[in-house]
Amino acid sequence: MTKAGLPGPWGREAGRGGGWPVNWNGISCPGPAGIAGRSQRRMWALDQTLRRGGGRGGSSVGAHRDAGGEQARVWLSPRREPREVTSPRRLLGQTLLALALTTASLAWIVHETGPLESLFRQVRPGWLLAAALALIASWAVRSLRVWLLVRTLGQRASFFGIFTDFVASLFVSGVTPTASGGFPFFVYAMGRRGVEWGVALAANLFDTVLNVLTVAMLGALAWALLIGYAPAGGTASILLVGVGIWVVMGGLLAVTTLLAPRFAARGLYRLSQRLKREDRRPSLTRLVRALAAQVAQHTRAIRRLRRRGRAPVVVNLVLNLIYWAAYLSVGPLILTALGLAVDAGPGAPLWLDAVFAHLNFHLVQNLIPTPGAAGGAEWGLAYLFRPYLSADRLGGFVVLWRLITYYFQVAVGGLFLPRTLRQMVRGPS
């Protein structure tokens, strides 16, 4: 065992730069000692690596000598691309299903609320353009949050490259159930761009935890303000449930990914050793060891973030607030485009109702199991805005809101997708 590497599969170098291991099947690499001796040495090596925060893990060369680095690269190599990339037929089917469901839902809502010809003649295009620009600004801020975290962790990455990958992941999120495909796609794209796998995962998880906590705080504030208005009683009740779910999610994510990732790494490593001793299910053993390697890299990245103090947390929280200010302004801007007075209302101003209803929708939309939340998103939004808009305005608002926040997002993401896929195939330069 050398200082830079670990024995067996945890430290074998995989070659140069961003290269990939040549031997796909040679993962276990048993040494001359017995199983018990190997297990003790490897567990000690993993523990020492986690204690010293990764050794040379911050450099581009040291990244290939990290504990579990090879296992992670094997499992996330081009042969292990996300299914959304390797199955174009599946992706096309989900896209067509999402478009069909959302189009049918919009048509039914328009049928129930009345024709839109006279309403759309009154639309002010400048405000719709402002809504689209606000959405694009939220994408830029979201990419900036991750880019700054990656830079804080000592990795070099182009902001435009991170932005491109994130916008492409919006397309994948828009056509996968519960938006589940966007996160792994984004992490994988960053890894293929040359960012350490552990850094890419840690930056995104750290950002996700703070984003969830920010949404929970905004939701609690919205509930406290909305509960005083009689027309918003139902909305406030749903919002409280959503806030509770997000608080639980944020707590679990914080504990498992930020506070105690080392225990998860050691637990997965011990499980992999047990599976290896039993000599059963080799594919499951490889998967568990790859996961343990990823968590080990993630642990070192989190340690580096902790050594930076409060600065990354404060900067990320400020950018989160800017992100949500841009994202939640889309609803009021669409209402203004329809000619509504957003500063008036029977209770709270209409813009405040729109912001809180939009936030409410965001809290629950990922529970809709269809691709892009198609079908449920349209009816859910119509239900949330029904207390604030008349029937002749409700249908037009839902149509415009869905066109900007879904169709526009999927279309722009689709334009960026080929560039990201080419980068995935090419790999780090």
pLDDT of residue 274: 74
Out of 8-17, 188-197, 371-380, pick the least confident: 8-17
Average pLDDT over residues 415-421: 91
More confident residue, 345 or 225: 225
Q: What is the average per-residue pLDDT within 30-34?
A: 38
* Residue 378 within a domain: yes
In a domain, 285, yes or no: no
- Of residues 81 and 113, more confidence is placed in 113
What is the reported pLDDT for 322? 95
What's the confidence (pLDDT) of residue 20? 33
* pLDDT for the residue numbered 21: 34
Whether residue 251 is predicted with pLDDT greater than 90 in this model: the reply is no
Q: Which of 35-39, 46-50, 256-260, 264-268 has the lowest mean pLDDT?
A: 35-39
In a domain, 290, yes or no: no
Task: Quickly state the pLDDT bin for 242 (edges 50, 70, 90).
Answer: low
How much is the mean pLDDT over the chain?
Answer: 72
The pLDDT assigned to 127 comes to 92
Give me the percent of the chain exceeding a pLDDT of 90.
Answer: 17
Closest CA to 211 of 357, 351, 313, 356: 313
Answer whether residue 5 shows pLDDT above 60.
no
pLDDT of residue 236: 58
pTM of the predicted protein model: 0.70
Question: pLDDT at residue 134 above 90?
Answer: yes
**pLDDT score at 320:** 94
Residue 181 within a domain: yes
Percent of the chain with pLDDT strictly greater than 70: 64
Asked whether the predicted pLDDT for residue 402 surpasses 60, the reply is yes
Distance (Å) of CA 79 to CA 22, 85, 293, 322, 335: 12, 11, 18, 38, 47
> Highest mean pLDDT range out of 206-210, 227-231, 344-348, 391-395?
206-210
Model confidence at 203: pLDDT above 50: yes
Report yes or no on 209 lying in a domain: no
- Check pLDDT > 80 for residue 275: no
Read off the pLDDT of each residue in 199-214 and give the average, rounded to a whole number. 85
- Over residues 5-18, mean pLDDT: 36
Q: CA-to-CA distance for 194 and 42, rounded, in angstroms? A: 27
Range of the domain at 130: 88-192+308-416
pLDDT tops 80 at residue 157: yes
Q: How many structural domains are present in the chain?
A: 1
Is residue 124 situated within a structural domain?
Answer: yes
**Would the pLDDT of 177 be above 70?**
yes
For residue 329, name the pLDDT band (cuts at 50, 70, 90): very high
How far is residue 204's CA from residue 97's CA, in Å, rounded to a whole number?
29
pLDDT value of residue 425? 84
Mean pLDDT over residues 332-353, rounded? 77
